[in-house]
Amino acid sequence: MNNKIIAVDFDGTIVDDAYPKIGKPKLYAFDTLKRLESQGYRLILWTYRYGKRLDEAVEFCKENGIEFYAVNSSYAEEEFNPNEQSRKIHADYFIDDRNLGGFPGWGEIYEIINKKIEFTIENGIVYATSRRKSSSSNKQKKSFLQKLFGR
């Protein structure tokens, strides 16, 4: 069973950005989230929203078949104290419309996660490579950091 955690933004990612209103659902957003959840991923709603606006977003997601493992926290039982901890949460993947390069779309997001695609930069060009081993080649391409630090 998969136990990876995915943190997902709401406005501009699950729905079109219409803040403070709730925008129209992004194409395949809920289908993709349901599929990832059925594969064992734990989903966290990680959004700027709070209070009544957050409650509306959580309810909207429930109405569309998604109940999150946690909301704006690393796990459901976590009690946030801004005087003692950071708002940064733990997740294996972060899906947000403010990613470098923007939001690619839910079909692409699903492929990136399932094919374990990594991105590297060489001479200012971004390359996408799969972490799954190819039967034709055992040699894996080094990432930008591996090249930088000689590993």
In the chain, domain spans: 5-100, 115-151
For range 136-141, the mean pLDDT: 49
Q: What is the pLDDT of residues 84-134, one digit of tens each?
A: 655 778 888 899 988 767 788 888 888 888 887 777 777 766 666 766 554
Whole-number Å distance between alpha carbons of 30 and 136: 36
Per the structure block, which two tokens stand in for 14? 């699950």
pLDDT reading at 27 higher than 70:
yes
35 pLDDT band (50/70/90 cuts)?
very high
Residue type, position 58, single letter? V
Helices (H), the chain: 29-38, 51-63, 106-114, 144-149
Q: How confident is the prediction for the chain on average, in pLDDT?
A: 81
Whole-number Å distance between alpha carbons of 149 and 68: 38
Residue type, position 80, single letter? F
pLDDT reading at 45 higher than 50:
yes
105's torsion region: left (phi>0), alpha (psi -120 to 50) or beta?
A: left
Query: Which pLDDT value is given to residue 110?
Result: 87
Fold of 5-100: Rossmann fold (3.40.50)
Query: Which pLDDT value is given to residue 98?
Result: 86
Query: Which pLDDT value is given to residue 137?
Result: 44
pLDDT reading at 74 higher than 50:
yes
pLDDT reading at 60 higher than 90:
yes
8 A C-beta contact, residue 68 and residue 33: no
Measured in whole angstroms, the distance separating CA 90 from the mean position of its chain's CA atoms is 11
| Residue whose token pair is 């704006």 | 72
- In eight-state DSSP terms, residue 30 is H
Instruction: State which H helix or E strand residue 95 sits in.
Output: strand 93-95
Per the structure block, which two tokens stand in for 93? 């993947």
